[in-house]
Amino acid sequence: MGVSAAFTSCCRNRWTRPAECIVASVVDQASQIVTDTIPLFPLRTVLFPGGPLPLRVFEPRYLDMVSSCMKTETQFGVMLIRDGSEVGEARLMEVGTRARITDWYQGSDGILGVTAMGTERFTLQRAERQADGLYLGTVTALPADPPAPLPEDYRSLASLLEAVIEDLGKLYEPVPKHYDDAGWVAARFAEILPIELEQKQQCLEMEDPIERLEFIRPLLRSIRQEPSQ
């Protein structure tokens, strides 16, 4: 089931704070820096622009957030937890990614399943925890990766990534593919590889897509050389 008005009847009783996702942007006309306030979803994961994020949503604060963002067609921020937990208070990293809800379903166990897509990176300026536990963050948008054709000596990585994504199946089916783009290839490897969360976060914070590729390649080689357990 795609994102549709059907969600309205499913979650109508949870639209208690639709304004959480509706915020006025503050734009510096000289620098075109956009700052606004968005709901945050602290997680033990790192989301990259252009990447999918499957979620199982059951806490009231996040059910409210999801229904509000669906109703207002706005986004929320995904941030890696520095300290703390997903279900309580948490200290967050400084760079995260906006997420747009692209699909939802009601699981057989009654838990709401959501698929979101990363759209753009941001820097967290300030975060406040509301009475219901939901974090609201004042964020500043970061520029998108500059276009960077995949260098010739990284072509083998693109071929490997294509095979890996094909094996991953349904989750990546709706994701637009850009195997000739250095930033896109690096981001997909960073989100898929079983590397430390701190390494994923380091990749997210890098401004140069070629630098990100250079960071990823030795990690990939190390993983492929590890003996099977």
CATH T-level topology, domain 6-141: 2.30.130
9: helix, strand or coil: helix
Q: Give the tens place of pLDDT for each residue, 8-42.
A: 334 433 333 433 443 444 554 444 567 899 999 99
Confidence of residue 109 (pLDDT cuts 50, 70, 90): confident
Q: Is the dihedral of CA 59, 65, 68, 72 positive or negative?
A: negative
Q: Which residue has the higher pLDDT, 35 or 80?
A: 80
Q: What is the DSSP string of 133-151?
A: S-EEEEEEEPPPPPP-BPP
When computed from its CA atoms, the radius of gyration of the chain, rounded to whole angstroms, is 18
Query: Which uninterrupted H or E stretch holds 158?
Result: helix 155-168
Least confident of 7-21, 158-172, 188-202, 209-223: 7-21
Nearest to 79 by CA among 111, 56, 46: 46
Inter-residue contact 186 to 216 (CB < 8 Å): yes
Q: Cα(92)–Cα(197) distance, rounded to whole angstroms?
A: 13
CATH T-level topology, domain 152-224: LON domain-like fold (1.10.4060)
Beta bridge partners of 97: 78, 121
Q: Give the tens place of pLDDT for each residue, 111-142.
A: 999 999 999 999 999 999 999 999 999 999 99
Confidence at residue 229, expressed as pLDDT on a 0 to 100 scale: 44
**Which residue ranges make up each domain of the chain?**
6-141, 152-224
